[in-house]
Every structure is written in structure tokens, then in C-alpha cells.
Amino acid sequence: MKITSIETSIVSIPFDMHAPPQLFAGKPWSHIDTLLVKVETDAGITGWGEAFGHVVNQGTKATLDTLVAPLFIGRDPRDITGLMQEMQQTLHLLGRNGSVIYALSGIDIALWDIVGKLANQPIYQLLGGSNRRSLTAYQCLLRYTDPVLVAKNCAAGYAEGYRYFKLHEITREAFLAAKGAVGPDAHIMFDTNCPWTVEEAIRMAQSLKDDGLHWLEEPVWPPEDHAGLARVRAQGIPIAAGENAAGLFDFKSMMDAGAIDIAQPSVTKIGGITEFRRILSLADAYGVRVAPHSPYFGPGFIATLHLAAAMPSNPPVECLWMDAEARLFGDYVLPKNGQLPVPQGPGLGCDPDPAVLERYLIDGPTVTR
């Protein structure tokens, strides 16, 4: 069995974030952009993947089209771990994080989709299986910088059935506003996106210490300051991080430093399902929990559901809370009552809707043969 072509395309779907539009990496954020990777084989089986992401999609797409995709043509799509090891080594001089690894992540997810379809099994069964039919979703709110809006949208999420909430805010006032808007059975996480020095983060952790925070995410700049993060963790608040980590050994360094309670690998950034699995084993050995980073709407989100389904710890799954004008997978994996279905079809279990692909396409398809 051989890979015959790899196609990349970017779709851009408008969304309503229930707040005034915000900037993301300096650009106005009004559309969810998804970089899709379609891998075709001589057996007639097609796999879909997603490579990170958002405003760096064009960069990742160029890396795929000009560098990474051609290396996979003619190779056996069933040799996933062998191919990923080989390509990581072949390409390592070009960056151990960023577009090269994002590109590999997208192809890796598509290869898992292919082997699942070939075996006529959902990916989570290939990963070890599970009897669960649903997963706990957490309501991931965008950054509003307005505690009144935080409270309003948390209350809306609570009414929809969510019991896990994640804020992208940086003030205790916002945290208390969320806490006041939901019931006592709610768990609130605080994602700060690396705003503070270690000393500032320690002061913040001390001020939040008795507020019942479920976790504090990425409080320290830069994210690779694992020793600094460990000093914040010593204040007694659960610390989560890892969406910006570079592979298995970056996570090992984080855990060796005693920096985290919760590891957050991101399947479209870290090297796909293959690298994510290695981090699961590592976390087990260190007694660290894993909660996937997954603010996606494409195959990366569905791949995350398969990974979460196969994890005995049943982690809460990140679900960006916004209304998109259209969805690549229709209502296939929509959260309901704070729960997400475990996808049951072969491979990812669902292919993107061709009509949505066509209507919202902004770049591509670019085909490598």
C-alpha cells in the first residue's frame, strides 16, 4: 500500500464569539481557519488530518507543500511510527517545533485515519479501546477582558450543561466573576497564555490559592522556563502547561523540573497521535495527569476525542465556545449537555463535508503527487 497524493487546503469559517472581536497574534479574530491535510492511497482509502493552525496556517501549508508532503509520496501509510521517526530525524535541523512539526502532525492524523478505515475500526479502538460513549467537554471561553461578559457567558455555558469552564483572562476579578455565575459543582480553569514573570505569577498564584481554582495554565513567560514554573507550582495551585512544548523530551524536562500537574499536548502541534501517545506513557510514569489542548474544529478535534476516549483517566476535553457559521463535520461531534460523543465510525469516523469545504475554501487545494 502506498501514499499517492497529499492535498492541503485552508477553510475559513466566520464565528460569533459572543463578545466584541479580539485580536489573535495581532490580527482581528473573526474566522476559524483550519488547515486540512488529505492523504490518498493506491488502495482507494483517503485519510484526513489537520495541521496547526490559526494565523500560521499559510506558513504550515507552504512547509507541507514544498518540503514535507513530497517525502511521504510512495511510502506505506501503515508504517506510521517508522515514518514519523524517520521524518523527525530527516527534518530536525529545520526546527523541533513550529511549521515542520505541525506539518508532520497533520499527516500523522491522516495516516491514523487511513489505518482505522483499513481495519474498519475507530481510532480509539486501535489506541486501546474504551467502553465510554461520551466524554466530558469543558467550555473554553475566549479572552473578553470584561468580567461582566465572563460572568454572562459562563452562566450561559452552565445553563447548556457545562460543569468545567476555562477562562482566558488574567485577573482574579474575572475568575471571581465566573465563580459567582455558576453553581457549586463547577470546576474553573484559568488559562493566562504566558503573561507574567515568575515573581508576578507567584503573586497571582498566592492570591488565587484559596479560590478553588481547578488549574492555572501557562502563567509564566517564557513557556520553556520550567524551573520558574515549578516555583509557581510550589505555591500549591495545580499547574497545567504543554500546548507550546516541543515533543516528548520537552515534556520530560517539564516533569523532571516538577513544573506541572497537568500535561497539555496538542495533537496538531506536537507530532500528531503518534507523539501524543508517547507523552501519555511518560505522564503515567511521572504521575502527571493529561488534559488535551484542542481548540480546533477539524480532524485535529476528532483525533483528540479518540485519544481522550482511550485514556482511562477520562480527561475533560477543550471545546472552544463560539457559534460557527458552518461546521466541517456538521453536528457529528457537537457538545450537548457538557458531553461529547466518542466517534464510532472507522478511522476518525467522519470525513469533512464537501459542501462546507467548497464554500469556505480560501487557499488550495494544493496537490503533491
Binding mask of the shown chain, residues 61 to 100, with x at each position contacting Mg ion by CB under 5 A: ----------------------------------------
Taking CB atoms, the residue at the shortest distance from Mg ion is 191
CA 250, CA 140: separation in Å to the nearest integer? 25
84 vs 254 by CB, closer to Mg ion: 254
Residues 24-43 that bind Mg ion (CB under 5 A): none
| Closest distance of CB 190 from Mg ion, Å | 10
Alpha-carbon gap, residue 166 to 139, rounded angstroms: 6
Count residues near Mg ion (CB under 5 A). 1
- Closest approach of Mg ion to the CB of residue 217, in Å: 5
Angle, helices 272-286 vs 99-119, to 10°: value is 100
Of 50 and 191, which CB lies nearer to Mg ion in the complex structure? Answer: 191
CB of 266 to Mg ion, least distance (A): 9
Q: In terms of Cα–Cα distance, which of 321, 325, 270 is closest to 292?
A: 270
* Contact yes or no for 264/191 (Cβ under 8 A): no
Considering only residues 278 to 317 of the shown chain, the ones binding Mg ion according to CB under 5 A are: none
33 vs 191, which CB is nearer to Mg ion? 191
Q: Which helix (H) or strand (E) holds 49?
A: strand 46-51
Asked if residue 50 binds Mg ion (CB under 5 A), the reply is no
CB of 241 to Mg ion, least distance (A): 8
For residue 345, the 8-state DSSP code is S
Half-sphere exposure of 339 (CA within 13 A, CB side): 9
Task: Write out the DSSP string of 168-233.
Answer: ----HHHHHHHHHHS-TT-EEEEE--S-B-HHHHHHHHHHHTTTT-SEEE--BSSTT-HHHHHHHH
CB of 138 to Mg ion, least distance (A): 12
To the nearest whole angstrom, how small is the minimum distance from the Cβ of residue 23 to Mg ion?
16
b (16+ CB within 10 A) / e for 46-85: bbbbbbbbbebbeebbebbbeebbebbeebebeebeebbe
Q: Which is nearer to Mg ion, 79 or 261 (CB)?
A: 261
Among candidate residues 289, 243, 240, the one with its CA nearest the CA of residue 260:
240
Of residues 11 and 141, the one with the C-beta less far from Mg ion: 141
Q: Which of residues 184-243 bind Mg ion (CB under 5 A)?
A: 191
Kindly tell me which of 191 and 225 has the beta carbon lying closer to Mg ion.
Answer: 191
Shorter beta-carbon distance to Mg ion: residue 228 or 242: 242
Nearest approach, Cβ of residue 191 and Mg ion (Å): 4
In 3-state terms, what secondary structure has residue 60? helix
Q: Which residues bind Mg ion (CB under 5 A)?
A: 191
